[in-house]
Amino acid sequence: MEADFEDLIAGFLDDGIGISEHFLSDGLCEHLASNLLLLHEDDELKPAGTGNDSLLKHSQLIRKDRIYWLDKEHNDPYENLFFEKMDAFVAYLNATCYANIQSYEFHYSLYEAGDFYVKHLDQFKDNASRQYSMISYLNPDWVGKDGGELLVYQTDANQMIAPTQGKTVFFKSSVLEHEVLVTNGRRMSIAGWLKK
């Protein structure tokens, strides 16, 4: 467990973004992906907004994914395993980096072919509680022609990150500009924020 925590933290400290290739196991990703697809069949995924509360906008010109918020009260066994892993990561981050994270929020996200999310920062203008962004990908057999890369903007060299199953990325919400390039197939993830 600690090795993947260290991958995320060391990558973040070196480079502004930590990447762990197999942060979530294949088995867990498969269960989470099937949860997401069932929610989609039941029409539970809603168009994602941008901004916060009164500033919430639903602009299909900015982002086209559909989302569903995870909630411990749903008591889903696989989501509970996901939360356990995140709880362990937050405890490690707080202990080793004095990060002072108090809470988090995560949602499933579904991008259909043609969907994207333009360049943005994750921290809201009117609320600085989001400290770190974490995204875990749930796409088995993802290949280059599928597109949908996470493009992160960095001063030296931008990076394109393929959303392959189990991979998790970790970066500072107020600092790192990023976008989701147009996906050519269905792209599934859990995106969230560690908050103070």
**Alpha-carbon gap, residue 134 to 113, rounded angstroms:** 23
Regarding 122 and contact with Mn ion (CB under 5 A), the answer is yes
DSSP 183: B
- Give the binding range for Mn ion (CB under 5 A) out of 57-65, 86-94, 122-130, 150-158: 122-130
87 to 45, 56, 102, 186: CA distances (angstroms): 25, 28, 10, 28
In the complex, the smallest distance separating the C-beta of residue 79 from Mn ion, rounded to whole angstroms, is 21
In the complex, the smallest distance separating the C-beta of residue 156 from ligand OGA, rounded to whole angstroms, is 21
88-117 binders of ligand OGA (CB under 6 A): 109, 117
- Which among 85, 83, 138 has a CA at the least distance from the CA of 110? 138
**Alpha-carbon gap, residue 39 to 137, rounded angstroms:** 17
Regarding 149 and contact with Mn ion (CB under 5 A), the answer is no
14 to 17, 93, 151: CA distances (angstroms): 8, 16, 18
In the complex, the smallest distance separating the C-beta of residue 179 from Mn ion, rounded to whole angstroms, is 8
Regarding 135 and contact with ligand OGA (CB under 6 A), the answer is yes
Q: Is the dihedral of CA 180, 21, 24, 4 positive or negative?
A: negative
Cβ closest to Mn ion, residue 7 vs residue 122: 122
Regarding 29 and contact with ligand OGA (CB under 6 A), the answer is no
Cβ closest to ligand OGA, residue 35 vs residue 109: 109
- Which among 80, 87, 85 has a CA at the least distance from the CA of 101? 87
- Residue 8's binding partner out of Mn ion, ligand OGA, none, with CB under 5 to 8 Å set by partner kind: none
List 68, 122, 146, 194, residue binding ligand OGA (CB under 6 A)? 122
Site residues (vs Mn ion, CB under 5 A): 122
